[in-house]
């Protein structure tokens, strides 16, 4: 039996492990895919305080070594269920049951993708899912943003301060974003709008060079030359196996506050899987620390 089981070896889960191990707890982490989570696919991080420039893989490696040197154990396996008990919780993978006094669910989220050929190939080479993370690489360049909600318009506003031009492409003729955001964006002279349109093809081999667009009303196609494409069509939270246990909001994120405490004693959530305004490394590691401190204080 462990003091703490952590589900997810992203930055939130690894940070929680770091704090718990330093507090003398025995810790086991489960990871179903790759150590480091989302950040491991980032070519370059420039906005983590104290780390001027580092690849995501290197960042994840450093954090993982820091944690395992403290005796934290890791199993590559998917957790499919938690059965809360009074003093010890049961955590199930597909073939085994584990026990822990406390559990932190740090299962993160995935960005929705367009599902286009070359999308994976060009990610990090012109295609991005995060303006806050990658916007600075497109200073004075032409970029497009795909989406029609608050995230897309917020990203367009942010990018318009760096980029020569920002073209917002939306599949409908009206936007879901708040009116105040729309008003701000419409008043920027370097933000342009293409409605009723989807991206049919990403152009470029080593690096994105343009988009082939399809107007869904007229069925006509056109091309747009861009250096960058920011896909802002939402996140897919990885909360499914635990949705009966922890409250979930309308988008599928854990509806839990910054203290990371769930209504179930000794079960906590941390990181991008939680409802929040900003999904970044800094906010994920803050959650990991908060959740771990909550474990230590119970």
Question: Annotated catalytic residue: which of 3, 11, 77, 134?
Answer: 134
Question: How far apart (Å, rounded) are the C-alpha atoms in residues 94 and 246?
Answer: 21
Which of 83, 173 has the CB closer to ligand FAD? 83
Which of 38, 160 has the CB closer to ligand FAD? 38
Nearest-approach distance from CB 295 to ligand FAD, in angstroms:
16
Which of 37, 252 has the CB closer to ligand FAD? 37
Residue 67 · residue 21 · CB < 8 Å:
yes
Question: Annotated catalytic residue: which of 61, 77, 117, 133?
Answer: 133
Nearest-approach distance from CB 221 to ligand FAD, in angstroms:
29
Which of 185, 281 has the CB closer to ligand FAD? 281
Nearest-approach distance from CB 190 to ligand FAD, in angstroms:
24
Where b means 16+ CB within 10 Å and e means fewer, 217-254 reads eeeeeeebebbbbbbbbebebbbebbeebbebeeebbb
Distances (CA, A) of 6 to 105, 112, 143, 252: 6, 25, 39, 20
Residue 163 bears catalytic tag: no
Which of 137, 193 has the CB closer to ligand FAD? 137
**Per-residue tokens: 115:** 């599902």
Question: How far apart (Å, rounded) are the C-alpha atoms in residues 192 and 185?
Answer: 9
Question: Annotated catalytic residue: which of 130, 163, 260, 273?
Answer: 130
Question: How far apart (Å, rounded) are the C-alpha atoms in residues 70 and 17?
Answer: 9
Nearest-approach distance from CB 197 to ligand FAD, in angstroms:
25
Residue 260 bears catalytic tag: no
- Supply the DSSP string of 264-284, one letter for each residue: STTEEE-STTB--S--SHHHH
11-22 and 56-68 helices cross at what angle (nearest 10)?
20
Question: How far apart (Å, rounded) are the C-alpha atoms in residues 146 and 249?
Answer: 24
Nearest-approach distance from CB 248 to ligand FAD, in angstroms:
14
Q: Which residues bind ligand FAD (CB under 6 A)?
A: 7-13, 30-33, 37-39, 41-42, 45, 47, 78-79, 106-109, 111, 129-130, 133, 238, 241, 271-272, 279-282, 284
Quick one: which of 118, 125, 89, 124 has its CA closest to 105?
Answer: 89
Question: How far apart (Å, rounded) are the C-alpha atoms in residues 53 and 185?
Answer: 30
Nearest-approach distance from CB 158 to ligand FAD, in angstroms:
13
Which of 147, 185 has the CB closer to ligand FAD? 147
Residue 211 · residue 226 · CB < 8 Å:
yes
Quick one: which of 38, 39, 35 has its CA closest to 56?
Answer: 39
Residues marked active site are found at 130, 133-134
């Amino acid at each position: 039996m462990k003091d703490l089981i952590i589900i997810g070896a992203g930055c939130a889960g690894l940070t929680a492990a770091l704090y718990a191990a330093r507090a003398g707890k025995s810790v086991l982490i489960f990871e179903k895919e790759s150590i480091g989570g989302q950040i491991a696919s980032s070519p370059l991080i420039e906005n983590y305080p104290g780390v001027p420039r580092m690849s995501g893989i290197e960042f994840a490696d450093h954090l993982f070594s820091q944690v395992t040197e403290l005796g934290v154990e890791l199993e590559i396996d998917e957790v499919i269920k938690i059965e809360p008990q009074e003093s010890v919780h049961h955590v199930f993978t597909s073939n085994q049951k584990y026990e822990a006094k406390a559990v932190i669910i740090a299962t993160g989220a995935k960005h929705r993708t367009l599902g286009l050929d070359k999308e994976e190939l060009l990610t990090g080479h012109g295609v991005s899912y995060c303006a806050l993370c990658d916007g600075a690489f497109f200073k004075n360049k032409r970029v497009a943003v795909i989406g029609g909600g608050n995230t897309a318009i917020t990203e367009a506003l942010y990018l318009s301060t760096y980029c020569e031009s920002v073209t917002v492409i939306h599949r409908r003729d009206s936007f879901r974003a708040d009116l105040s955001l729309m008003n701000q964006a419409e008043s920027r002279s370097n933000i342009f709008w293409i409605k009723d349109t989807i991206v049919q093809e990403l152009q470029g081999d080593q690096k994105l060079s343009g988009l082939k667009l399809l107007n869904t009303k007229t069925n006509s196609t056109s091309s747009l030359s861009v250096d960058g494409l920011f896909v802002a069509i939402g996140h897919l939270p990885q909360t499914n196996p635990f949705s009966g246990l922890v409250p979930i909001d309308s988008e599928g994120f854990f509806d839990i506050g910054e203290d990371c405490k769930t209504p179930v004693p000794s079960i906590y959530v941390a990181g991008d899987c939680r409802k929040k305004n900003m999904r970044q490394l800094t906010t994920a590691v803050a959650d990991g620390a908060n959740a771990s401190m909550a474990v230590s204080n119970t």
